[in-house]
């Protein structure tokens, strides 16, 4: 099982633009051995970086190089990449859209 996942985030339903989708994210995969902290009842983990750490890179090659330099096994998800097609306001009124 890989230690980290490298992917390009998609835009959320609340976004109209692609502002936070340009960088690649290296995210540590959450372990299955979480425990409940007895005093505050929060979920805890022995390894802090596996729960809280997300690193951002300009390219996937830089993210892969970082994972290799730290001897981490990784998986790359290319399916999340989206391509925006430029659209003009006048395209809403073209005859091809009307029945």
Rounded to whole angstroms, how far apart are CA atoms 35 and 54? 21
Rounded to whole angstroms, how far apart are CA atoms 99 and 88? 20
Residues spanned by the domain of 47: 4-82
Average pLDDT by stretches of 10, the chain with 99 residues: 84 71 85 79 71 84 95 86 70 70
8 occurs within a structural domain: yes
88 occurs within a structural domain: no
Q: Looking at residue 50, what is its pLDDT?
A: 52
96 occurs within a structural domain: no
Q: Looking at residue 35, what is its pLDDT?
A: 80
Report the number of distinct structural domains present in the chain.
1
User: Closest by alpha carbon to 9, among 26, 30, 19, 24?
Assistant: 24
91 occurs within a structural domain: no
CATH number, domain at 15?
3.30.160
């Amino acid at each position: 099982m890989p230690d980290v996942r490298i992917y390009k985030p998609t835009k959320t339903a609340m976004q109209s633009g692609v502002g936070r989708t340009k960088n690649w994210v290296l995210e540590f995969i959450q372990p299955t051995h979480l425990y409940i902290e007895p005093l505050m009842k929060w979920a805890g983990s022995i390894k802090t970086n596996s729960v809280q750490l997300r690193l951002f890179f300009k390219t996937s090659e830089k993210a892969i190089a970082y994972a290799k330099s730290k001897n981490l096994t990784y998986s790359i998800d290319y399916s999340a990449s989206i391509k925006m097609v430029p659209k003009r306001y006048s395209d809403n009124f073209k005859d091809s859209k009307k029945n």
